[in-house]
Amino acid sequence: MGYFLYKGLKKPLIFFGLKDKYIYFAMGSAVGGLITVAILSSLFGLFGMIIGAAIGGTGVFLSYKMQDSKGLYNKTRNEEELHIIPTKFRNVKLLPKKVNHELKEKNF
């Protein structure tokens, strides 16, 4: 019995509940928020710092929401398609005569 060398390699990277590309989105929003805090606090003081922190926090919050709504991979939604999958599929014309005769005896 052996173990794989790279066990769990194909799993996405997870950091504070964010997966893969959304980690980078949140990190970019947080860094952008810090830069905005630095710029606005020098211009407007405490009020600018609050606005900058709100902008950065909103970006991180939206990256969580985007992950929940869009998911990790691209998904196509086909709203207008209708798929009907029968539970039993029997084509009497294609079945051999012996099986066809047995089905008629069982009243299928």
Average pLDDT over residues 27-41: 93
Residue 1 has pLDDT above 60, yes or no: no
Distance, in Å, from the CA atom of 51 to the CA atom of 37, rounded to the nearest integer, reads: 7
Average pLDDT over residues 36-56: 92
Distance, in Å, from the CA atom of 46 to the CA atom of 93, rounded to the nearest integer, reads: 81
Nearest residue to 32 (alpha-carbon basis) of 54, 6, 13 = 54
Distance, in Å, from the CA atom of 66 to the CA atom of 57, rounded to the nearest integer, reads: 14
Q: Please indicate, yes or no, if residue 89 is contained in any of the structural domains.
A: no
Q: Please indicate, yes or no, if residue 7 is contained in any of the structural domains.
A: no
Q: Please indicate, yes or no, if residue 107 is contained in any of the structural domains.
A: no
Q: What SS3 state is found at 19?
A: strand
Total domains in the fold of the chain: 1
Nearest residue to 95 (alpha-carbon basis) of 82, 87, 104 = 104
Q: Please indicate, yes or no, if residue 35 is contained in any of the structural domains.
A: yes
Q: Please indicate, yes or no, if residue 88 is contained in any of the structural domains.
A: no
Range in 6-15, 16-25, 37-46 with the lowest mean pLDDT: 6-15
Distance, in Å, from the CA atom of 80 to the CA atom of 55, rounded to the nearest integer, reads: 38
Owning domain of residue 50: 14-70
pLDDT in tens, 48-89: 999 999 999 999 999 989 888 877 766 666 677 766 666 565
For the question of whether the overall pTM of this predicted structure is more than 0.85, the answer is: no
